[in-house]
């Protein structure tokens, strides 16, 4: 029976160096060769994840921005979908930047990004250079973005999320990023990885019971619950482990996904 293998990137498929190991790559390629589908479901924008899509030689739809964007990279696809965050909310959050103790506010869509200050800009993190056209202001941001990134001191992220949900909970969903930086990922209300994975499964004619999903962080919760078999990484948060059907024996830095999948699909 064909499976849809939905894979988170940071903390799951990627090791601590933010790379896909040779073992994990070969294991996923074996799964594809046996007729299964692999689909990336990440909070990252496409520009920060396209290299992994190409490395794995995928042709399946991809989920970016925690479900905010579902597309087939470098192709025109009639089912492509992008959600949006009201730009007025973006500037309202920026007006509270000091009170919220935010380091920066970034707004993103499929093609580009905007950031409110270059003081904390990191070319490696954004995988791009920035010019005045990337400044997050009313002149440059003329449409509703797909997603926001809010960076703040790690110890304050939880409280900031609670504050913003109290203000905008009817309009937004907020998740923590599983990467190295303390980031809050903000998308439109009701947008989750599970929604994106469901759209991918429908396109590929894969039933819900035949989806296996791997994740480690809070933005993976709904995806693991939705999948027929949700697997938490050994390095996952306690909460994610509690909602998963199973837990890998090894961490993301020990090829935990590869070992689990090889056993689960009898790839060896």
Q: Do domains 4-82+191-265 and 87-188 have the same CATH topology?
A: no
* Residue from 8, 10, 173, 255 carrying the catalytic annotation: 8
The answer to whether the CB of 2 falls within 8 A of the CB of 246 is: no
Residue 8 designated active-site: yes
Residues 160-209: tens digit of each pLDDT:
999 999 999 999 999 887 667 788 989 999 999 999 999 999 999 999 99
User: b vs e for 92-118, b when ≥16 Cβ sit within 10 Å of the residue's Cβ?
Assistant: ebbeebeebebbbbbbbbbeebbbbee
Residues 85-119: tens digit of each pLDDT:
999 999 999 999 999 999 999 999 998 999 999 98
Q: What is the CATH number of domain 87-188?
A: 3.30.1240.10
Could you tell me which CATH class the domain 4-82+191-265 is placed in?
A: alpha beta
Domains of the chain, residue spans:
4-82+191-265, 87-188
């Amino acid at each position: 029976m064909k499976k849809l293998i939905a894979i988170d990137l940071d903390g799951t498929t990627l090791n601590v160096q933010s790379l896909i190991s040779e073992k994990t790559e070969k294991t996923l390629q074996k799964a594809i060769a046996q007729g299964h589908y692999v689909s990336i479901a990440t909070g990252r924008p496409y520009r920060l994840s396209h290299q992994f899509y190409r490395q794995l030689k995928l042709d399946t739809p991809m989920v970016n921005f925690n479900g905010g964007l579902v597309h087939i990279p470098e192709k025109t696809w009639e089912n492509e979908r992008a959600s949006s965050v009201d730009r007025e909310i973006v500037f309202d959050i920026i007006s509270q930047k000091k009170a919220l103790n935010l380091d920066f506010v970034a707004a993103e869509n499929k093609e580009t990004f905007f950031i409110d200050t270059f003081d904390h800009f990191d070319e490696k993190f954004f995988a791009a250079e920035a010019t005045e056209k990337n400044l997050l202001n009313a002149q440059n941001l003329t449409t509703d973005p797909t997603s926001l990134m809010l960076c703040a001191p790690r110890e304050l992220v939880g409280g900031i999320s609670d504050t913003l949900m109290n203000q905008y909970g009817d309009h937004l969903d907020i998740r923590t990023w599983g990467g190295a930086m303390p980031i809050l990922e903000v998308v439109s209300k009701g947008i989750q990885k599970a929604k994106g994975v469901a759209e991918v499964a429908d396109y590929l004619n894969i039933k819900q019971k035949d989806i296996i999903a791997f994740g480690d962080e809070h933005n993976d919760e709904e995806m693991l619950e939705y999948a027929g078999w949700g697997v938490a990484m050994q390095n996952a948060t306690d909460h994610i482990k509690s909602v998963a059907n199973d837990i890998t024996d090894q961490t993301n830095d020990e090829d935990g996904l590869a070992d689990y999948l090889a056993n689960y699909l009898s790839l060896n």
